[in-house]
């Protein structure tokens, strides 16, 4: 067994399901702690003086670091090709998203680049982004397709996720219902339901199925049709909901018992109550509002105070949130959405794991769970927000091994 000693502090939520409402503040915080790892699992986490007798064969000096669970980034779009930095610069100079899209930019730009890339190139891209995620403390990440928008290229994106030799545990999602293909809207929902989802299920390429229900994209009825078809093929629903307007996406997610309803900048009071009564996670992505220079963030306080399960994610993608850092997401969640540091840490770990249906295995530091944790070069977990704009990660461990 491996002993990690000389921890200045250990801070973690506890449990094998998501924390709801005000219980998101309930961290276990232990000063002068140790960890004991048996293979790929935690065997003990607590004070050294309280540690049972173990057969310790190796020890690691944490040198006063703070230990937290590995971050769980439960909404990303990392299997893409091409960047959109020029579009970003055009927005800084006053052009709108609609003007950029009309000139061939936006998602259409990423679709062209992703279609042109080989599966091998997409695999290398996934690996590079996963390495960056790991550098900033992420040990598990969801990864979506959605830049192929035809059968072959959607499958290519998902195969790239599967093929990647990633330091981060990757959980794949089919997002063929991300946008309509450049070839036209006619028949696209039929092709998703009748061709793409069956092919994804046959190759076991995804765990989840997602849809972008939004004004100008997929209607509520179209999104429901796609997600119900996914369920019929064994895929768990997720939903891009109420991002740009209130399309009653949050209530649809709750009706479908979706794993998550994501974005939620325009969620209604009815939507908030629906999520609070459900097991569907409200997955908030403040990096998107920040990157798009919007003053509108999801109502995190209302969701938490009503009793919802709230998680945080990067939304890492080339157009609206080009970051792999869950640390900056926590900082935005506290400074812009008024979450507490404790709530944001729970949202970035245990509740993200819950939305991926993995909270029984990851998301907290406690005996029996996979030994995924981060050593911070900081005297306490509060420095994750207090000491902003820097990378505090000293070491990242996944399954009991440093990565």
- Write the DSSP symbol of residue 319: T
User: pLDDT tens for residues 331-374?
Assistant: 999 999 999 999 999 999 999 999 999 999 999 999 999 999 99
**Three-state secondary-structure class, residue 44:** strand
Percent of the chain exceeding pLDDT 90 equals 96
Instruction: Tell me the CA distances in angstroms from 151 to 42, 78, 140, 157, 196, one per residue in order.
Output: 42, 18, 27, 10, 6
Beta carbons within 8 Å of 378's beta carbon, 6+ residues apart: 65, 66, 384, 387, 392
Do residues 97 and 224 share a domain? Answer: yes
Do residues 62 and 187 share a domain? Answer: no
Report whether 73 contacts 133 (CB < 8 A). Answer: yes
Beta carbons within 8 Å of 246's beta carbon, 6+ residues apart: 266, 267, 268, 271
Beta carbons within 8 Å of 291's beta carbon, 6+ residues apart: 320, 321, 322, 323
Do residues 14 and 155 share a domain? Answer: no
Per-residue confidence band for 123, with pLDDT thresholds at 50, 70 and 90: very high
Domain range enclosing 21: 2-69+360-402
Do residues 208 and 321 share a domain? Answer: yes
Per-residue confidence band for 100, with pLDDT thresholds at 50, 70 and 90: confident
For the chain, the average pLDDT equals 97
Mean pLDDT across 124-141: 98
Do residues 32 and 89 share a domain? Answer: no
Report whether 256 contacts 224 (CB < 8 A). Answer: yes
Q: Is 399 exposed, middle or buried (0-12, 13-18, 19+ CB in 10 A)?
A: middle
Report whether 380 contacts 362 (CB < 8 A). Answer: no
Looking at residue 307, what is its pLDDT? 98
Looking at residue 107, what is its pLDDT? 87
Task: Give the tokens for residue 116.
Answer: 């042109």
97 has pLDDT over 90: no
Task: Give the tokens for residue 126.
Answer: 């996934």
98 has pLDDT over 80: no
Do residues 163 and 37 share a domain? Answer: no
Do residues 266 and 321 share a domain? Answer: yes
Do residues 253 and 375 share a domain? Answer: no
Looking at residue 96, what is its pLDDT? 82
108 has pLDDT over 80: yes
104 has pLDDT over 90: no
Do residues 18 and 101 share a domain? Answer: no
- Residue 2 pairs in a beta bridge with 37, 58
50 has pLDDT over 90: yes
Q: Supply the CATH number for residue 165's domain.
A: 3.20.20.140
Of the residues 316, 335, 355, the one at which a domain ends: 355
Do residues 236 and 247 share a domain? Answer: yes
171 has pLDDT over 90: yes
User: pLDDT tens for residues 214-223?
Assistant: 998 999 999 9
Do residues 23 and 100 share a domain? Answer: no
Tokens 């937290």 locate to 68
Do residues 81 and 168 share a domain? Answer: yes
Distance CA 276, CA 361 (A): 24
User: pLDDT tens for residues 244-271?
Assistant: 999 999 999 999 999 999 999 999 999 9
Number of domains in the chain: 2
Distance CA 10, CA 327 (A): 17
- Residue 28 pairs in a beta bridge with 12
Per-residue confidence band for 390, with pLDDT thresholds at 50, 70 and 90: very high
Q: Supply the CATH number for residue 390's domain.
A: 2.30.40.10
Select the more confidently predicted residue: 108 or 42: 42
241 has pLDDT over 80: yes
Percent of the chain exceeding pLDDT 70 equals 100
Distance CA 267, CA 119 (A): 37
Beta carbons within 8 Å of 95's beta carbon, 6+ residues apart: none
Mean pLDDT across 51-61: 95
Looking at residue 101, what is its pLDDT? 79
Distance CA 192, CA 90 (A): 33
User: pLDDT tens for residues 192-201?
Assistant: 999 999 999 9
Whole-structure pTM value: 0.97
Distance CA 180, CA 241 (A): 17
Distance CA 357, CA 343 (A): 19
Mean pLDDT across 309-329: 97
In 117-196, which ranges are continuous DSSP H helix? Answer: 119-135, 151-163, 188-191
């Amino acid at each position: 067994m491996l002993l990690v000693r000389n921890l200045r502090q250990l801070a973690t939520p506890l449990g094998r399901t998501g924390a709801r409402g005000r219980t998101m503040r309930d961290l276990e915080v232990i000063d002068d702690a140790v960890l004991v790892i048996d293979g790929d699992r935690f065997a003990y986490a607590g004070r050294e003086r309280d540690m049972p007798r173990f057969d310790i064969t190796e020890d690691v000096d944490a040198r006063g670091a703070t230990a937290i669970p590995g971050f769980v980034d439960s909404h990303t779009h990392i299997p893409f090709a091409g960047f959109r930095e020029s579009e970003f610069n055009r927005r800084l100079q006053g052009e709108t998203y609609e003007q950029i899209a009309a000139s061939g930019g936006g998602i259409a730009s990423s679709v062209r680049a992703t279609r042109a890339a080989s599966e091998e190139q997409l695999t290398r891209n996934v690996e590079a982004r996963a390495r960056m995620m790991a550098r900033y403390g992420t040990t598990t990440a969801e990864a979506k397709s959605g830049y192929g928008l035809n059968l072959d290229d959607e499958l290519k994106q998902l195969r790239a996720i599967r093929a990647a030799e990633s330091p981060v545990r990757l959980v794949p999602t089919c997002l063929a219902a991300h946008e309509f293909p450049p070839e036209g809207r006619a028949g696209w929902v039929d092709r998703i339901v009748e061709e793409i989802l069956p092919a994804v299920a046959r190759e076991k390429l995804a765990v989840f199925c997602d849809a972008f229900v939004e004004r100008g994209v997929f209607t509520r009825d179209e999104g429901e049709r796609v997600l119900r078809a996914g369920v019929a093929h064994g895929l768990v629903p997720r939903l891009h909901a109420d991002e740009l307007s209130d399309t009653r996406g949050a209530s649809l997610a709750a009706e479908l018992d979706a794993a998550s309803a994501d974005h939620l900048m325009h969620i209604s009071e009815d939507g908030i109550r629906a999520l609070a009564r459900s097991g569907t996670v409200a997955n908030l992505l403040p990096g998107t509002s920040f990157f798009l220079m919007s003053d509108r963030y999801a109502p995190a306080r209302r969701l938490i105070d009503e009793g919802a399960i709230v998680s945080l994610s990067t939304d890492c993608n080339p157009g609206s949130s080009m970051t792999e850092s869950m640390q900056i997401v926590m900082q935005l969640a506290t400074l812009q959405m008024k979450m507490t540091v404790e709530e944001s840490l729970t949202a970035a770990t245990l509740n993200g794991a819950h939305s991926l249906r993995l909270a029984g295995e990851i998301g907290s530091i406690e005996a029996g769970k996979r030994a995924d944790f981060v050593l911070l070069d900081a005297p306490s977990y509060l420095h994750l927000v207090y000491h902003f704009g820097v990378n505090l990660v000293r070491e990242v461990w996944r399954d009991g091994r440093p990565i």
